Amino acid sequence: MSDDDRIGPEPPPIEQSQLAALVRGRRTIARFLPERPADEVVMRAIEAARWVPNHKLTQPWRFHLLGRETATKIVDLNARRVAAARGEAAGEAKRQRWSAIPGWLVVTQVLDPDPLRAREDYAACACAVYNLTLSLWCEGVASKWTTGEVTRAPEFHALLEIDSTVEDVIALLWYGYADEAPKMRRRPVSELLIRKP
């Protein structure tokens, strides 16, 4: 029996106000301070991520924690792609911006040939990424979930040694300590809620 199979004491309940503050307070951050958070913080976030619901317990997520060498190769790949599409200046600007990102994590989904299962697995992976970002936020670490064009490039998959017939990239997650404090707005519930008799 693994540790995951043991039933232990339940953790103390989180007050609704604490949960609401966490969910409402989390922000997508694109600018970070240079310091990279400790890997232990990311490992705790991955631990939290894997507890989301997933149909038939497929656990379709995989987490690729990138070191500086791999991240630099992705920065170079993206800069070359941007330069080819929009010119050298745009490529260099992108290189400078992406080079400043301290932490890199890629989340993939193991593909299922059944379309319904694949859709359910995608939803589970998206929930896992969200759990991960909330866990990071609890420890003062900000993140940005991106799915830019580079994540679909065959060269990107090759750099990460991902077989695109087996795994699909769900998120390129940047993380670090925030160097900005963006405001966030949401439409009121009254505009989003549809009641049925």
CA nearest 98: which of 123, 73, 115, 118? 73
CATH number of residue 112's parent domain: 3.40.109.10
More confident residue, 4 or 107: 107
Q: Is residue 163 part of a domain?
A: yes
**Share above pLDDT 70 across residues of the chain, in percent, rounded to a whole number:** 94
Q: Is residue 136 part of a domain?
A: yes
How many structural domains does the chain have? 1
Q: Is residue 105 part of a domain?
A: yes
pLDDT digits (tens, 9 = 90+) for 1-34: 344 555 566 766 777 788 788 888 888 999 999 9
pLDDT digits (tens, 9 = 90+) for 142-197: 999 999 999 999 999 999 999 999 999 999 999 999 998 878 788 888 899 999 89
Q: What confidence score (pLDDT) does residue 184 get?
A: 78
Q: What confidence score (pLDDT) does residue 109 get?
A: 98
Q: Is residue 191 part of a domain?
A: no
Domain region containing 83: 32-178
Q: Tell me if 31 sits within 8 A of 178, measured CB to CB.
A: yes
Q: Is residue 143 part of a domain?
A: yes
- Under 8 Å CB-to-CB from 1, ≥6 apart: which residues? none
